[in-house]
Amino acid sequence: GAIRIEVSGRNTALMLNGKLEMPIREGTQSVDLFVPRGVHKLNILTIATPEAKSVEAKLARENRQSSIVKMRPFTAIDFDHDSAADIPYFEPVPAPEITQEENRWNLSMPSRELRFIDFEFLEYRGEAIAINNVEISGGELKHIPPTADVLELASNDVLELAPGDTVTVSYLDELTAGAEQRNRLLTKSLTATYYNGQITPISYDFNRSGNGSVKGTRKELLRIEPGERIVAEIVDFDLDVGLDRDEVEVEIQVNSAPPFKYTATETGASTGVFLAEIDTAAEATEGKITVKQGD
């Protein structure tokens, strides 16, 4: 999760997993970091002088239940690996590597999920840049160029769109009232784009009216008690890909435990809203996640 480290002294610096995150400078410094689950190597440099007689390093961990950042001194348990023997050491992913073979450049980097790729050339020699071919592959799959026949894509019944494309729909109105302005061409345009999805924990309150009917009211969750149900509401219209109710996969994680997957189902045909019901319990129960106060 996210952490903040603050180091005070005459000169301070910080290195995490062999990477200099806070260069050597005078005075107190702080840095915000996002670290994945695991045991990390942390090096802190601080210098005391007659003017700066005391030095200190403080830590603040991510707390999703509060927007206030509370710094505290490091304790011995923060460096005691025996207390977390089941947690493996963190292994940093290898840095991207660029190799050149004649006029061919290869960029190798760890796999990651990407929505789009943008190439930016900061410097070049000559009058212009000429690119003959671009190939993008991951694992054993080649994503660009696609394996499908590009010429056949133009003859199917699916629009191949990219962000920024303009879609125009036209209709010829041959019959009008009073026979005026016959053969009138009607057009409407829209721009193709992506929707930035969002996820909200919600629940429902059920109230019974005077005639006996029960009505549910949606409410957003800020906290729960063990044993209550969490409903994860995912709104992402980009994932509405079929005419029927679609499904998406979400990850649930309690503290630093390994995440596990849940399936969220669309609320209806072509709504773009997906719900996943997550049951909790104070003790280990099949089909429920175990939580306690403060998780």
Residue 180 lies in a domain: yes
Residue 9 lies in a domain: yes
Mean pLDDT, rounded, of the chain: 85
Both 106 and 126 in one domain: the answer is yes
Tell me the average pLDDT across 213-237. 90
Residue 90 lies in a domain: no
Both 186 and 206 in one domain: the answer is no
Is residue 207 scored above 70 in pLDDT?
Answer: yes
Residues 6+ apart with CB under 8 A from 50: none
Is residue 12 scored above 70 in pLDDT?
Answer: yes
Both 62 and 135 in one domain: the answer is no
Q: What percent of the chain has pLDDT over 70?
A: 97
Residue 10 token pair: 């005459």
Confidence class for position 75, pLDDT limits 50, 70, 90 = confident
Residue 225: burial class (beta carbons within 10 Å; 0-12, 13-18, 19+): exposed
- How far out from the chain centre does Cα 151 lie? 34
Both 175 and 202 in one domain: the answer is no
Residues 6+ apart with CB under 8 A from 89: 38, 39
Tell me the average pLDDT across 217-221. 89
Residue 211 lies in a domain: yes
- The percent of the chain in helix, strand and coil, each rounded to the nearest 5, is 5, 40, 50
* 1 and 59 Cβ atoms separated by less than 8 Å: no
Is residue 181 scored above 70 in pLDDT?
Answer: no
Both 138 and 163 in one domain: the answer is no
Both 53 and 110 in one domain: the answer is no
Residue 12 lies in a domain: yes
Tell me the average pLDDT across 124-151. 80
Both 42 and 63 in one domain: the answer is yes
Is residue 247 scored above 70 in pLDDT?
Answer: yes
Is residue 171 scored above 80 in pLDDT?
Answer: yes
Both 186 and 219 in one domain: the answer is no
57, 84, 111 — which closes off a domain? 84
Q: What local confidence, expressed as pLDDT, does residue 267 receive?
A: 92
Both 137 and 205 in one domain: the answer is no
Is residue 188 scored above 90 in pLDDT?
Answer: yes
Sole residue written with tokens 């890909």? 241
Q: What local confidence, expressed as pLDDT, does residue 31 receive?
A: 92
Both 23 and 39 in one domain: the answer is yes
Is residue 179 scored above 70 in pLDDT?
Answer: no
Q: What local confidence, expressed as pLDDT, does residue 146 receive?
A: 73
Residue 92 lies in a domain: no
Residue 91 lies in a domain: no
Highest mean pLDDT among 157-161, 205-209, 250-254: 250-254
Both 133 and 210 in one domain: the answer is no
Is residue 150 scored above 80 in pLDDT?
Answer: no
Tell me the average pLDDT across 217-246. 90
Both 139 and 155 in one domain: the answer is no
pTM above threshold 0.85: no
163, 191, 219 — which closes off a domain? 191
Rg (CA), the chain: 28
Beta bridge partners of 262: 250
Domain interval for residue 277: 198-290
Count of domains forming the chain = 4
Q: What local confidence, expressed as pLDDT, does residue 277 receive?
A: 92
Is residue 147 scored above 80 in pLDDT?
Answer: no
Q: What local confidence, expressed as pLDDT, does residue 135 receive?
A: 86
191, 224, 252 — which closes off a domain? 191
Residue 202 lies in a domain: yes
